[in-house]
A = this chain, B = another copy of it.
């Protein structure tokens, strides 16, 4: 099972020594969530950001017909939260739950302020995450508007290199905005093309 501690993440992404936040992180409890557990439900106000150390979460909506639409997967090393709900104090339109048993660090607004005060580089990291988030959402819209099923699938693999083996096909199809049959067609076509090479 893959594992990326928050410390190792900070070291890689904000160039901070692993023990920078030791006094803070030592008292912080990690949360163990079981497959299927909810971390956010539609209608609740989202108060937390979740950093996944191991396992896998998904962030999604359910439409009136009961269909699931996946906005984001969060495997090891990813953050997930509803920034709109937490920032504007709006009831969330989304759910977050665990696709696999997961170990998660839970941050509230106070934690983020405290970490930024302790180390300005954390504030800069937070700002970079915000902009990366915008960039990802933007490319996703562009893909949904312009790309074929195959192009979307290729982009998915680039973003989430090992998720195809971990996520049920219907959830991948839901993320891509195509039917499970469409996804299966794309995969067969790519496999046969690679076989012919």
Contact = CB atoms under 8 A, between A and B. Distances in A.
Interface of A: 61, 63, 67, 69-71, 83-84, 87-88, 93, 128, 130-135, 137-142, 144-147, 174, 177
A177 B144 contact: yes
Nearest to A71: B141
9 contacts: A69-B142, A70-B145, A71-B141, A71-B145, A88-B131, A88-B132, A130-B134, A144-B144, A144-B145
Contacts of A93: 139, 142
A interface: dominant SS:
helix
Nearest to A85: B135
Contact of A146 (B69, B84, B88, B131): B69
Contacts of A128: 87
Contact of A131 (B70, B84, B145): B84
